[in-house]
Amino acid sequence: MPKPGGFARLGPNNHPMAMQQDPLSDDLRAAFAREGYLEPIPVFSGPEIAALRERMESFERRRPADAAWAFDVKCNLLFDWVVAAARHPRLLTLVEALIGPDILLTNGVFRNKRPGSGLTYGWHQDMARVQVEPAVAIAFIAITESTPENGGVSIIPRTHRSIAPFSVTTTSEGQRRRTVARVIDPPLERVRDLHAAPGDVVFFNANTIHGSGPNRSGRLRSALLFDYTPARARQSVGTGSGQLLQGRDLGNFGLEPFPGGDCRPEDAAARREVFRRYPDNPLLGPHGPGEPVYFPDAPEFEALQG
């Protein structure tokens, strides 16, 4: 498939750094608007992505029982170094080009597949049940290489303009008791399998149909996904929340606190409070009146959940 707008891989003359002179890159934004995604763009340098991987693995080594819940939904409320990654200057410059200058970080999540892992993510649009307008831009940061062989993400171009018919199912994909929307009849003839190197970022519209298969390699597949939401956006259901990374708060979302370290108990408690106050998170789906919100949490808080 042709690379969208010629932005498949930025060359020396249109490297992300060069875009700092022209953050509102019309070509980049037009390609994203048309295709619903951008081919992998090198953003993090080799040492930068290695340092991010080391922070992740060091936490897993020190607190192996906590990694599964702490690396899940809104992990940006738990780790200051995750927020630092989301604020990476080249990354934010690109995000600004795509969604404008007022930027909320409404989610951060690690998606790791061990060697030989059968974990898959079925075809879906992230905002199928709670729609957000203007749309959220997702940045898939490849911490390791991400390929069809190791369960890398695939997308279906030009599927972001409407919500496709879906079914709601409870799955254990990555998490316990997760209710998710899965597209019933995705146009598989148009699937684009992406090949990302460590440090590359794949941007896609949260409504672009995407998914990923099992890790058939002998190596870890690791990615960190960020949801960047324009502060001017509104949700179709309830009120969302996010950390204001840049620009103005326009009052449409609740403001979330920033973490002060490496998964401190007070930050885990703050994340719990965020979910309690803003249960209609696009990642967790809409909730009926009084319906409990479930999300992976610290063991001392798990017992409190329904």
Ligand X SMILES: O=C(O)CCC(=O)C(=O)O
Shortest distance, position 121 Cβ to ligand X, whole Å: 4
Q: In this structure, what is the dihedral angle of CA atoms 108, 16, 248, 236, given to the nearest 10 degrees? A: -50
In angstroms, the CA 295 to CA 160 distance is 27
Cβ atoms < 10 Å from Cβ of 188: 10
Residues 99-118 vs ligand X: string with x where CB under 6 A?
------------x-------
Q: Whole-number minimum distance, CB 23 to ligand X, in Å?
A: 27
Of the pair 19, 82, the CB lying nearest ligand X is at: 82
Closest to ligand X by CB, 88 vs 178, is: 178
Q: How far is the CB of 34 from ligand X (least distance, A)?
A: 21
Q: Which lies closer to ligand X via its Cβ, residue 57 or residue 173?
A: 173
DSSP assigned state of 163: P
Let me know: does 222 contact 110? Beta carbons within 8 Å. Answer: yes
Closer residue to ligand X, CB minimum distance, 96 or 200? 200
User: Mask 52-91, x = binds ligand X (CB under 6 A)?
Assistant: ----------------------------------------
Say whether residue 126 binds ligand X (CB under 6 A). Answer: yes
Task: Determine if 153 is a binding residue for ligand X (CB under 6 A).
Answer: yes
| Total Cβ atoms within 10 A of residue 293 | 16
Task: Identify the CA nearest to 258 among candidates 88, 54, 48, 82.
Answer: 82
Residue among 83, 121, 77 at smallest CA distance from 275: 77
Beta strands 200-205; 137-142: pairing state? antiparallel
Is residue 164 near ligand X by the rule CB under 6 A? no
Taking the least distance from each CB to ligand X, the nearer of 13 and 172 is 172
State the number of binding residues for ligand X (CB under 6 A): 7
Nearer to ligand X, 25 or 69 (CB): 69
- Name 55's Cβ contacts closer than 8 Å, sequence gap at least 6: 79, 81
Give dist(CA 258, CA 261) in Å, integer: 9
For ligand X, give the closer residue by CB, 259 or 282: 282
Buried b / exposed e over 12-51, threshold 16 CB at 10 Å, is: eebebeebeeeeebeebbebbeebbbbbbbbbbeeeebee
Smallest distance, Å, CB 216 to ligand X? 14
- Binding to ligand X by CB under 6 A, coded x per residue (else -) over 183-212, reads ---------------------------x-x
Q: What would the two tokens of residue 223 be?
A: 């990615």
Q: Residue 215 and residue 219: Cα distance in Å, rounded?
A: 8
Indicate which single residue of 38, 164, 181, 223 sits in contact with ligand X (rule: CB under 6 A): 223
Query: Which residue lies nearer to ligand X by CB, 223 or 298?
Result: 223
**Minimum distance from CB of 279 to ligand X (Å)?**
18
Among 37, 121, 203, 204, binds ligand X (CB under 6 A): 121
List residues binding ligand X (CB under 6 A).
Answer: 111, 121, 126, 153, 210, 212, 223
